[in-house]
Structure 1
Amino acid sequence: MLKRLGLGCFDGLFRCRPSIIPLRSIHHHVPTSGHHRKPSELPPAATADDPAGWILLNKRGIRADDAFVAEADTVAYCHVFMGRLLRVSLRRAPPPASTFIYYDFPYSTPGEDDKTVIDEYFKEHVDMSEEKHDESVEEEEEEEEDVDESEKEEAENVDEWGIHVVAAHCDLVLLELSHEPCDHDSIHLLYRAGAAKRPSLALLPERDFLTKSEQLYTQQVFSPYSGDTCLVRRGDILLVELYHMYDRSLQQDMAEFCLLRHGARQWELKEPVPMIIQDEGSTERPRTRGGRDTIVPLGNRFVCWVRYETGFLLCDMGDEECPKVRYVPLPPGVCWDPKEYDDGNPKYSMNMGAAGDGASVVRFVSVDPHCCCGGPGRSTCMRSRYAFTINTWTMNLSMDDPLVWVKDGEIDCEELWGQPGYEGLPKGHLQCPIVSLDDPNIVCFLVANFPFVSSYEDRKVWMIQLNIKTKALLSAVQYTKDLWGVYHHLPVQIQS
C-alpha cells in the first residue's frame, strides 16, 4: 500500500463552507462630517463583466466542501494519496478585490466512481507482481481490510491538510500541500491555468540533495518556499531557487542556483557564481541569510529577489549555465526602521513590481511615515501620528550599464484622504502596495481600522486601488475573509 502523507506544516489555514460572501464595493462605513457622495457619484470600479487582465491572488488556500467548485473553467485534479484526489479551483475577482484558490479532496472526478480511481492509482503507482496475483483468497481479504483501514484513516485526517501559494508567473502557480501537525516535509504541485485549454495540476519532484550554502549553514534540504523559489518561463526551465552564500576563501558574495526543468524528475545544481556589486566601495551588502521578502519575475530573462532591508538581487537567466547576479540597493533615502512602523514588518510598507509591458523595468513603492512638519519619520503628536507619504521610483534593468532609480511619484496622505470616495475609510497607514500588471501607474493597497477600534469583532480591512500618476482613488472593496490572509497576495496574469 502506498501512503503519500507526512508533509510539512502549514500556518494559518482558513477553511470555509460553500456559502461565499461576495466582496462588496464600499464607500461609506464610518459616519463622517460633511457632505457624503452617493455611490453613483463615486469613481467606477472594475466589475466581473469588465474584468482587469490581472488578478490579486491570495496565497492562503480555502478548504471547500467536496461538492463545491469556485469556477468550472478553473478546475484541475491530481492524485495526492491513495484513493483521494486534490481538486483546486479559482474564484476570480477584478482588483482590488482578492482572487481565492479553493481546494478539496474528492474520491473521484465527475463521471468516475471510487473503485475506478483507486484501481487506476494502484495501476500507476504500485508494483503488482506475479507473486501478489498468486496469493490466497484469505490474504487478499486481509489486504483489502488493511486498505480500507488506511483509507478510513486518511479520510479522517484530510481536514489537517492545507494549501498555500508559493509563487506565480503568467499562467503558472506553484502550490504547497502540507500537513498541519507535522513540522517537516511537504509536496509541491504546479497549477497551470487554461485560457485556450483545460487547466492542469501536476506533482513536482522534490530536491534530494544539499546545496553548498545548506552544507555551510544547516545540513538540511529546504523545500521550495516564497523567499527563494521563482517560476520562470524561459525555454524548458520551470523553477529556479537562489541561495546566497559568502565564500571566505574568495572573500566574495556568491549566488547558487537550483533548476527544475519541464518534465524532469531531478533538480539540477549549478556552480556558485560571483555577485556583481554596483559600488564596491559601499558599505551596503546583500544579506546572506533569511530569505527574500518578494520575488519579481520579468518576462523570460530577469528575476529580482528583493530584500526590503537592503536591496535586491538582479538575476539574468540569459545564460542558464552561468547566470549573472547583480546586487542593487534600494532607492536613495529608503531605509526601513522598525521604530517607524507599528507592525514592525517592512514588507507591509514597501513593494517592488514589474512596470509596464517591457521585461526590464521595475517600480518600487514605499509608504513612508512623516511628521506634521513634513520631515521624515513617525511623529509623536496626535495630529500626524498616522501621516504618511507614498513614494514611487522606476528603474530600467541592465547587467552592464549603471542602474539609477528615478523618482516619479509622490502622494501625501492628505491628498488621498480628500479624494472622492475615501469618505468613511480609515485615515491610517496604507499597507501592502502591489503594482498592477496592466498599468504600472495603478497600485493596490490595504487600509485597516485596527488602530481605531478596541474589539476584534469590529476590525475591518479594505482593499483600495489608486492611480499614482493622477492621484485618483479608483475603487475600494471590503475584505470579508480571514483578516490575516489579507496581508498575503501575489499579482498574477491569469486570463479568463
Structure 2
Amino acid sequence: MFEPDVDLDTTGSYSTADPKTLVLARTSSNHPIGVSLRIASPPAESRVCVHFPQGSQPSRLDNQVIAAHGDSVLIKVSREGGSDKTKDYFVYNAGTAATGSPRPPSLSLLPPYSGYLRNDWTGILRRGEDDLVVACLKIETRKNDDNTPKEHVPEMLMFRSGKWWKIRWARIIGIENDELVYFWSSRVIPVGDNMLCWFCLHRGLIFYIVDDKRLVYKPLPDDPSSAHSGRNVCVTSAGNVVKFVNMFARCCCGGGGASECKHSKNCYAIKTWTLRMDSMTWVLDGMMDCTELWVLDAYKSLPRVRPEFPVVSMDEPHVIIFMVHEKEWWLIMQVDMRSKMLRSVYSYPKAHELKNVCAGKHLLPSKVSYYLNPYPGGTSQIDDTEQPPLGILDKQEAHDASNSKPLQSSSAESGVREILSALQEISMYGLTGDDTKKAISILTHGNGQRFISYLGVPKKLRKDWLLTEINASVG
C-alpha cells in the first residue's frame, strides 16, 4: 500500500535511495530527478521518494502519488512549489524482475498538459506491456447561448498511445446530467484491465469501459451514512472484485444512537459489500461490531476509538486495514472480518507530519512490489551492506537499477542479536520458550521488514503485537 504523500529528498544525491528501485529522468523543463521506492509489507505503508537537485524547494502538495495499477504508479512531480510552477506527470514502471526475462524499472514523462490532473479524478490502467491508459473525468458546466438552463456534462481527458484528447459525453448511463453536480470523486480504481471506476463515497460509482467507451453509473448500497473517513471503495486482485466498506456509529447497549450509548460514544459497526459485476448488484458479505474487537486480548492495550480510512487487502478480500488516531499518534491495524481477529498493529512512523498535511488518508493499494521481487510471494531483498554514493543529480544521467548484492550471512547473525536485544526490552511474562522461538522466526522474515514493523509499534503494545502474530502464524 502506498502513502499518497511522497518523501522528498533535496540533498542532491541518491545516498538514501534503494538502488534496486531507483530510476533517473528529466522533467519537461530539462531538470534531473530521481524516483525510488521504499517497499514495506502491509499493514506498513510503502513510499515513493522523489530525489531533487540540491537547492530545490518542492512542495509536498505538488508531489504526490495519484494512482497505481499493476506494475505502474502515476506520480505528480514539481521541483518548485506554487500554483504557477510546472507540474509534470510521470509513470513509474517496476519492470519485470520476477519473470524469466528481467527488465529494470523505468520512469516515463507523460506528454505536457496545460492544466492539471486532480488527484481524486485521475486514474491509471495498465493493459499489458504496451498499452497504458491515464484518464481524468471531470464534471463540467456547459453554457448555452439560447438562454436554456446550463447543463452539467462529463468531460474525459485521456492519455493513450502517446496523445492527449478530450471526449465530451452526452450522458452517463444510469444517471441524469442534472444530478452530476452533486457527484464528486474521492478516488479512481482500476477494475480488471478494461475498466476504471470513479467513486463518490456518498453518491455512487461511475465505470468507464475502455473498449466500448461507455460510462455507467451504479449507486452505493442503501446503508447508514457515515463520515467520509469511515467508508471506502476498493478492488481486489483475485477476480477483480469491487468492495464497499461502510463503518457507521451505533449503540451497543440498545440506546437510540451512538450519542446515547452508556458504554462508549465511539461504538461502531463495520459492513462490507461486494458488487457482482455480471448483474451489477450489491451483496452484503460481512459485518463486525466494535465489541467483537474490544474483547480480543490483542486489542486490550488499544484505544476504544472509531477507526478511519478503511482499505481492503488486494490479496485477501476479507481483511481490512484501518488507521486509528489517539491524541498525538496514529496506528495502522489489520482486521480479519471472517475470523473476527485483529491480525496486527503497526505504528504510523510519520504521524507528526499529519499536523501539517491532513488528519489521515486512504492508503493506495498496489501490486508493484510483486514485479520488483524476484521471489514471488515474499518481499524484495534488502541490501544492508554499505552502498557507495550514487553521484550528484546534475552530473549523473544513468544508473543500473539491478546492481544489488545478496544479504550476507554476517548481517543475518547481527540481525538475530538485534532481535534478542529488542525482546529483552519487553516483559516476557506469559511467553513460553516456544513462543520466544516463534517470535524470533517471525521477526527474521522479510529480510528485516517484519522487525522494522515491530520496532514501529509502541513499546507497551509490542508484546500484544507479538502474541497476535504468533497466533496468526499458528492458524
TM-score range (shorter-chain normalised) is: 0.5 to 0.7
CA distance in 2, matches of 1:391, 1:375: 20
Q: Give 1:350 deviation, angstroms.
A: 0.5
> Which residue does the alignment assign to 2:164?
267
Pick the aligned partner of 2:21 from 69, 74, 81: 74
Distance in 1 of aligned mates of 2:6 and 2:36: 10
Flag the structure with more relative contact order, 1 or 2, with Cα contacts below 8 A and sequence separation at least 6.
Answer: 1
Aligned to 1:479: 348
Q: 2:458 matched to which residue of 1?
A: none
How many residue pairs get aligned? The number is: 350
The CA deviation string for residues 87-131 of structure 1, in whole angstroms up to 9 with x for no partner, is: 11111111000111122225xxxxxxxxxxxxxxxxxxxxxxxxx
String of CA shifts for 1:137-181, please: whole Å, max 9, x gaps: xxxxxxxxxxxxxxxxxx534455762111111111111112564
Mapping for residues 287-366 of structure 1, pairs under 5 Å: 287-288=180-181, 291-319=184-212, 323-336=213-226, 346=228, 348-359=229-240, 361-366=241-246
Please list, as runs of the form range in 1=range in 2, the aligned pairs for 1:409-424 lying within 5 A after superposition: 409-424=286-301
Q: TM-score, normalization: structure 2?
A: 0.67
CA shift, 1:362, in A, is: 0.8
User: Within 1, Cα distance between the matches of 2:198 and 2:112?
Assistant: 22
Q: Which stretch of structure 1 is more off in the superposition, 170-179 or 441-450?
A: 170-179
Shift of 1:397: 2.1
Change (3 A) 1:275 1:307: same
Going from structure 1 to structure 2, the CA distance change for 1:420 and 1:99 (only over 3 Å counts) comes to same
CA distance in 1, matches of 2:105, 2:70: 13
C-alpha offsets along residues 273-319 of structure 1, whole Å, 9 cap, x if unaligned?
Answer: 421117x8xxx985436741121111111221110121111221122
Question: How much does 1:193 deviate?
Answer: 1.1
Correspondence for 2:117: 224
Unpaired segments of 5 or more residues in structure 1? 1-55, 107-154, 209-220, 337-344, 451-458
Match of 2:426 in 1: none
- Distance (Å, rounded) in 1 between the aligned partners of 2:260 and 2:170: 47
- Root-mean-square deviation (Å): 2.8
Separation of aligned partners in 2, 1:326 and 1:81? 35
Corresponding residue number in structure 2 for 1:88 = 35
- Map of 2:88 onto structure 1: 187
Once residues 256 and 275 of structure 2 are traced to their aligned partners in structure 1, the CA distance between those partners, rounded to angstroms, is 23
Q: For residues 373 and 267 of structure 1, what CA distance do their matches in structure 2 show?
A: 57
- The reply to whether residue 62 of structure 1 matches residue 7 of structure 2 is yes
Go from structure 1 to structure 2 and tell me whether the alpha carbon gap of 1:488 and 1:408 turns closer, same or farther (over 3 Å shift). closer
Spell out, residue by residue over 1:328-354, the C-alpha distance to the aligned partner (whole angstroms, 9 max, x if none).
111112424xxxxxxxx50x1111111
**Alignment-derived partner of residue 139 in structure 2:** 244
SS in 1 for 2:263: helix
Identity over aligned pairs, percent:
28
Mapped to 2, the partners of 1:367 and 1:160 lie a distance apart of 33
Distance 2:259 2:201 in 1: 22
> Offset of 1:374 from its aligned partner?
4.7
Q: 1:383 aligns with which of 236, 244, 263?
A: 263
The one-letter code of the counterpart of 1:313 is: I
- TM-score, length-scaled by structure 1: 0.65
Bigger shift: residues 58-67 or 75-84:
75-84
Give structure 2 stretches of 5+ with no counterpart: 98-102, 374-475
- Say if 2:183 and 2:203, in contact at 8 Å, map to a contact too: no
Q: Distance in 2 between matches of 1:385 and 1:285?
A: 39
